[in-house]
Structure 1
Amino acid sequence: MQALSQHLAQTLKALRAQRQWSLTQAAEHSGVSKAMLGQIERGESSPTVATLWKIATGFAVPFSLFITPPEAAREVVHYREGERPPFHQQNAQMQVRSLADFDALLGLDLLEITFSANAFSASAPHAPGVTEHVIVITGTLEVQVAQRWHQLRQGEVLRFNADVPHAYRNSSGQPTLIHNLIHYPRAG
């Protein structure tokens, strides 16, 4: 977890330096307080997934950039179970693992998310044009998109525009495992 916290801190600092943003400017773009951003950069705070999404959206970068160091480009990549540590929220309601590096050509992130029993997670709108595909691997999940709840069972898929408020709820007494394929539109 220490290595992940250090990666997160270094990534946030590097993004601010690239854009020549002060903490105040980063807070304005992301909607995350200047104090919280400073704590993350110093490795003093472990943000929630929702906070990381706000930061990623504010900086217009893929979510996985914050939880997985990028690897060198290769023609064939074989990812093995356990090679990529999950990102755990402090409240333990969910953990997120990047299943593959962000594909800049296709604009795709592939994440594995485990929701604990009775977990709830609300998400602010992502950048315009971002879409999500939620694939339930085990368990059940409810996904709220624009005030409407959708019940998903194992093997079911929900695709939605993620540039609106949305939320995830596991109302069962068992953990739920999903894959989340996120498509970011090309800049520019």
Structure 2
Amino acid sequence: MNYLIHNISINLKHIRKAKGMSLDVVAEQTGVSKSMLASIERGTANPSIGVIDKILSGLRIKLADLTQVPTKDAYLVDVDKIAPTKDVPGEYRVWTCFPIADNHVVEIYRIDVEAGGTYWSGGHGERTKEYVFVLQGTLSLELADGGTFTIKTGEAFRFASEDDHVYRNHGREKVSFASFFVVS
């Protein structure tokens, strides 16, 4: 499930419940079938622009009300249930767990680099620090200034990520790590 579908799913259900409406009532108000609305709320449907328009009109809400990041204080992301943001078979996969748009301070990724794989990353902007925590395997991190660091399972590493950097997996097993970008 991508972020937009996820946001619509959570927000539609929240709006419906806040208005005290059942799926039947929302279906009557919008002209969208109850089964389609239920699928949207479960995050299993990819609604067309026409369906979104019917929902907006029927509930008298704005597009931003459906698409904005949900305002929940607790939020679970299951990487196995979301589509990777980047996927280069045989090299790496990247999942955006929490985008910078959530809070404008931190962004969190899960990254897997396959055995022998390389992931080239551009800089992340001025005043950005990156924190890497290796979940599985041994990661080689090459920084633009020529420094190379080896980070093993259970270890964490911090660096200024304004410049390009490279993640490499010299091992025979996949490397999995979490990456946190913090804007100071």
Compared CA separation, residues 181 and 94, structure 1 to 2 (3 A) = same
- 1:86 alignment counterpart: 84
Q: Quick one: distance in 1 between partners of 2:68 and 2:158?
A: 26
- 1:136 alignment counterpart: 134
Gaps of 5+ in 1: 8-68
- 1:119 alignment counterpart: 117
Q: Which string of whole-angstrom CA distances, capped at 9 and with x for unpartnered residues, describes residues 119-178 of structure 1?
A: 112223221111100110000001012211001110111100001231111001110000
Q: Quick one: distance in 2 between partners of 1:81 and 1:128?
A: 28
Q: Quick one: distance in 2 between partners of 1:90 and 1:82?
A: 17
- 1:158 alignment counterpart: 157
Q: Is the 8 A contact 2:132 2:178 kept in 1?
A: yes
- 1:39 alignment counterpart: none
Q: Is the 8 A contact 2:79 2:97 kept in 1?
A: no
> TM-score normalized by structure 1?
0.56
- The 5 Å alignment of 1:29-178 reads 71-80=69-78, 82-102=80-100, 104-105=102-103, 107-145=105-143, 146-178=145-177
Shift of 1:101: 4.5
> TM-score normalized by structure 2?
0.57
Q: Which string of whole-angstrom CA distances, capped at 9 and with x for unpartnered residues, describes residues 18-40 of structure 1?
A: xxxxxxxxxxxxxxxxxxxxxxx
Other structure's SS at 2:177 match: strand
Other structure's SS at 1:82 match: helix
Larger radius of gyration: 2
Q: Quick one: distance in 1 between partners of 2:86 and 2:135?
A: 19
Compared CA separation, residues 126 and 79, structure 1 to 2 (3 A) = closer
Q: Percent identity?
A: 17
Q: Quick one: distance in 1 between partners of 2:132 and 2:180?
A: 7
Compared CA separation, residues 90 and 170, structure 1 to 2 (3 A) = closer
Q: Quick one: distance in 1 between partners of 2:120 and 2:99?
A: 25
Q: Is the 8 A contact 1:71 1:101 kept in 2?
A: no
Compared CA separation, residues 82 and 148, structure 1 to 2 (3 A) = same
Gaps of 5+ in 2: 6-66
